[in-house]
Amino acid sequence: MISLLDYGAGNVRSVINALERLGETVQTVKSGNDILNADRLVFPGVGSFGSMMEILREKNFIGPLTEYLHTAKPFFGICLGLQALFDSSEEAPGVAGLAVIPGTVKRFTVDLAVPHIGWNGINVRQPSRIFNGLEGNEKFYFVHSYHVAPSSNEFVLTTTDYGYEFVSAIQKGNITATQFHPEKSGKAGLKLLENFLAETREEIIPASCPERTVLAKRIIACLDVRTNDQGDLVVTKGDQYDVREKGDVRNLGKPVQLAGRYYEEGADEITFLNITGFRDFPLKDMPMLEVLENTSKNVFVPLTIGGGIRDYEDKDGRHYSALEVASEYFRSGADKISIGSDAVLIVEDVLKRGQATGLSSIEQIARVYGNQAVVISIDPRRVYVKTPGSVKHHTIKTSFPGPEGEEYCWYQCTIKGGREGRDLDAVTLARVCEQLGAGEILLNCIDKDGTNSGFDLELINAVKDAVSIPVIASSGAGNAQHFLEVFTRTKAEAGLAAGIFHRKEVSIEEVKKVLKQTVEIR
Ligand code: 1PR
């Protein structure tokens, strides 16, 4: 039996799933006494430092937790569960941490995308039993904008490089805590947790730790999901967003099975898009929640879910906020949610008002679950123009002139799965969404989707230049070389594909083989 401290702010489902996969029975802490009575305690932190400490205080957990940390009983902290151990954080000035380890928590000051999202390595600084069976060159999944800065090196267990070297895990007697998420770090992460649970392992330093660690470019498999005309939930795939062939919805497999296959084949992340979510009420859409629940039991890499995340009014007039919809997805095992149509409408409103309301789905979900949990999915389409000044939008000079020789184009945002074009360009959308608190951009391209002709590098460069959050390049991948192209000719942090993986034309392994010599991968 292991106790899990869930203060109710986010997704602890994946941690429970990982512990259960390792044969543990997990008991969720309900009171301060449960903390004091625990034999082993896991603390996965989600959200922000300030709200975490506030909730711990409201629940009267701070005293028992501090007392527990001063016993010899095992403790494992994850992400904010590491940061909580320090004196304070720049994220919430004036709010005291648990002060078990001297030092503070600082925001990344780097000329790189923040949050630091993805798979990075560790450099081991002292022996620990959690490293048994690891080579030392494995990568683990990180997602954070703040990192701990201990006052001395005494308790530093690992460091990681991102612009500069930061402390990525600490060890102090019975206390182990990691900035990365072992529960989302595939087989290496499960091994690490297994070692923590098996208390008798000997303390080691793995043999092949890298001198410097490098963040890997992520390869993401995307599953567009919808109900077909027979009522079955299927993975489908469009050609420029048209998913029907001879009148029928293309059926490329079952969502849970396909996600399991991609996990085994080495996908760094898996994205589900409920592509008819814009017209259905997702909380009635139980199959998607089931898909997430079942997938997250066996897939230990990050899961994103998109489609239909917005405010709703049901037929009886009951209001559901986008935050409620998102919370349901997080509870079912999602690590991030992606917002498509609603983001376009929100940005249009912000531009009209000249300011944000603080009430949009992007702002609300980012406040509760953190910026890193909010992905904006953009569905743009190229519009050619003769001169850049002929429209108010962000235009680019293109190397692929339009049908009438136009040398400029802009990327028009669409909603409802490409069905409706709006008077807003993708660059502006991305920029405003970042200001509202989005943590990542999933950049599709309707012209390229399903064409196998390669990513739209011009679009990716235009958006990447406008934001400092990570950008996932999507649409058009036809072979492994296209991934090499996108990672060498743009600064995209991740590449996503659907059709080539579903149809088994190219495997994730093949993509990584081609990238290996030139691009850092997991
Ligand atoms: O608007 O918040 O309800 O979200 C709906 C979501 O569903 C959006 O993220 C939107 O991109 C997606 N969507 C809606 N309709 C379609 C469609 O295809 N008819 N899917 C659709 C878009 C997702 C792409 C695709 C890549 C790679 N497809 O990410 O996976 O283009 O494909 P490829 O490698 O085969 O070229 P909301």
Neighbouring-strand partners of residue 245: 248
Residue nearest atom 7 of ligand 1, based on CA coordinates: 275
pLDDT digits (tens, 9 = 90+) for 59-102: 999 999 999 999 999 999 999 999 999 999 999 999 999 999 99
Q: What is the pLDDT of residue 369?
A: 85
Active site residue 224: yes
Which of 269, 250, 253, 279 minimizes the C-alpha distance to 340? 279
Q: Is 6 a catalytic residue?
A: no
pLDDT at 515: 98
HEC string for 236-262: ECCECCECEECCEECCCCCHHHHHHHH
Residue 286 has pLDDT above 90, yes or no: no
Nearest to 307, CA basis, from 231, 222, 368: 222
499 C-alpha vs ligand 1 centroid, how far in Å? 12
Determine whether 79 is an active site residue: yes
Q: What is the 3-state secondary structure (H, E, C) of 306-357?
A: ECCCCCEECCCCCEECHHHHHHHHHHCCCCEEEECHHHHHHHHHHHHHCCCC
pLDDT digits (tens, 9 = 90+) for 213-237: 999 999 999 999 999 999 899 999 9
Per the prediction, the chain carries an average pLDDT of 95
Q: How far is the CA of 81 from the centre of ligand 1 (A)?
A: 34
Lowest mean pLDDT among 61-65, 90-94, 277-281, 488-492: 277-281
Nearest-CA residue for atom 12 of ligand 1:
275
* pLDDT tens digits for range 18-58: 999 999 999 999 999 999 999 999 999 877 899 899 999 99
Q: What angle do CA 115, 121, 122 make, to 5 degrees?
A: 105
User: What's the pLDDT at 317?
Assistant: 85
pLDDT tens digits, 392-410: 999 999 999 999 999 999 9
Q: Given pLDDT bands bounded at 50, 70 and 90, which one contains residue 144?
A: very high
Q: Which residue's alpha carbon is nearest to atom 26 within ligand 1?
A: 475
The Cα-based distances of 520 to 193, 442, 517 in angstroms read 25, 20, 8
**What pLDDT is attached to residue 284?**
66
Of the chain, the percentage scoring pLDDT greater than 70 comes to 98
Given the residues 161, 183, 363, 434, select the one marked as catalytic.
183
Say yes or no: CB of residue 380 within 6 Å of ligand 1: no
For ligand 1, mutation pick of 342, 449, 503, 506 (most atoms within 8 Å of CB): 449
Lowest-pLDDT range, 119-123, 199-203, 366-370?
Answer: 199-203
Does ligand 1 have an atom closer than 6 angstroms to the CB of 222? yes
Instruction: Output 310 or 281, whichever has higher pLDDT.
Output: 310
368 pLDDT band, cuts 50/70/90, is: confident
